[in-house]
Structure 1
């Protein structure tokens, strides 16, 4: 770790007139929230930070000089996660040792997710020896009093998290009203349509060229053609897949353009779209963001928002229903062939990749056995990969054998494995308990502040309206904290249960000399990645040891 820290320091700290120079990144972000645009524009944020840098560098008593390495920004990107191109480019430059300082207007511009933002500010950036400055919050991670500001920083991050959830709830409510009024609220139109504003609301309008392809897909599938046959013919006819159509804005491949075959999931997505028979069907999914989780829930049909005859249909309802009968039958067949294997039959699914194209290996059942294979072997475009396949049973034997050998080479004993497992889980539990303590401390501080306000109200120094507003604010915050603590405590119980199960499994793996069947949890805990190459080589990268190759 020390060598890593020195490498960053060496690459980034230069001397100007005896003063160390911080090679800094200016980071600015503007989300999709229109209310932010007036005062929070990218230009405004950058200007404010530059003014701060100029004022800092003009100070004769400064301890260091700030030099701007580059400006990084994300326009129209939410702060609730860190999946942003500008942010990722900045972190790549941090990892490359090009910068050792980050300046933002305030904490909310950096991120609104309490857990992830705290992880960056308290762990990742300090480890990389990166100074973090939040201009409007008067926060400098290298300042002498930075440690004393930690609670204040976490409270602000909690507020930003709560604010993001509040904005999300308001936007969702507004979107529901628009949907019930028959307005299309999607970010992009379904393939076959475009979006236009008609009588003050956004409507789906048929796009003739792509609509023909939609009609063709339904007709061919309803007449008995398989999805792969449809994919093959679309490729032979030079029809762009949907993502390329959105890029080129025309259906058929032209000179100088790349032609990619359609994916199975894309064809199924077209066949499942209710909007094609003229009804506007919305709210089929709902974000889990309000619960502090990723991804979406698939809603029951009774919860959909449907506006009948909202736009011109591309196909008839009869043709749509005919296609659904085939899709449902295919889904039932697929369910029977894949049922249960998530836990028992494909333990290495989340860590297994093709060694040639680096794509995730797919799985299928054949004669009662599960096989891993590279789906790109069936591609017809430039992404085509070599054929390769291996069974789950063969993988189990190889990995068990290599695990036993690695354990022996490492000299790991049962108590060592238990200690490793316990340390990993204990670290996660400690992080959560730290957050719970911070929530309790903040709640106690707010209650004390409210008690003081009550005394001022009784003595006539504070109006009744101001006191009630403070009380409501404290109560709302208390409700948020209690819900958050309940969720965190549930996570701790889950982790403690997993810790016991994994420790027991690790001990049994050693006791049985590598004959224990490996489950998905253990595979992900012990193996970072596995690669199968076209020449039959299998590369296993264990989390506790280097790579192992097996012919």
Structure 2
């Protein structure tokens, strides 16, 4: 290719670029693609030696990255000898990476014999570089680079503010939700997809495996999340897609089950690029994520979400040729080593006998004991224990409902009245003593040192008494809230008040784990045990006072 000195005419490429970071207030108009083209064409009216062969536009591409479609085509045309002049509105339209821009101006274009014109910068490589160009061009490139860095920081800051505010800032909502038409930063439930999500959690609670759930959805003809987004005309792509038509897979189910967004929680900011010049995003530690609760309507309750995710951590092996896990899988633990009990099948005289043994003992008999227990005996014991416990929960429910009909505020006031009165008397006494101490000090009966020491002692007693009184008031408020709160956990147990047969869902809903002590003893640990104990304590406290009032003939009003 000929050098610029011998060139009489030029085949030029008009190059324009606009990125998202440039779309800001007045700059959107001044840097628009149409504006750039108009300015360049007006400039060329006085340049008869240059005629435009092509117009190349990178709309929506960052200036820091030179791997842009139009830029790549421009270089290809230059190397093919079709273009020998490049014209831009200013250097920032060509690029904002000062190192790359400098490399093109200083090395690549001169080597290829390409004339480069930046109109607003008054730069034309055909006229040669002045001493001012040698100073100003690198400086302008640095300024353009710095501008992009500043915009990047401001953008990140604004996004972080939105994340902390609970705004959804992703391009596409997770499966089961849509962007609100009124506010694109808010999620609303997708009625169709949300029901699929509920079914997934329900089937998991029933004991189905992830792959079993995926197979069931595929057999039902339910579109996978990717295909469903495509059916809604969303321009969505993902690295998880491996085939022409995406299906449900176990990993898809796992991602849904583990995603806390379905409980009304937004977790965002999970990855970030180190700086504006790097596209690669690096995963952040979970502690650095932005997590905001109650940002949108949940699809599944937090209790079911917690149960299902706990199941993922358990030993839940799938039986051969079955979709679900064994009834007691991941629930039984050895009373000595706390490891899982494993299921064993023995066939004797054409009959199958199922029992459980300690997994540690199975591997090494010297490290634990057998703890063998029959499956049938175990199921019977668990069912009886559950029936009894559910009965206790039902009784608690009835007692709480009865207590709700009582004038509890008066009862609780009577219960703590004596304690509060006693504390107030103690406070008043200490304050009187402090006053008398001051009088004794001013009368010269005690020294200043004695007065300060004794004042400190009684001041401390006053503070302790006031803290105790405040704590009592807090206890009243807590008890009053409990009395009016019909607990969710009670309803969970009442669903199974007529249980006659164990199911996987019933077990994982009500039982946390079971300790096998020996062949005849098991220790069942129920879910919501803290709530159960609090309810019992509340009933005992309020019940005793009501009984005492009844025995003394007092009328509670």
> What TM-score, normalized to structure 1?
0.47
Q: Which of these two proteins has the greater Rg computed from alpha carbons? A: 2
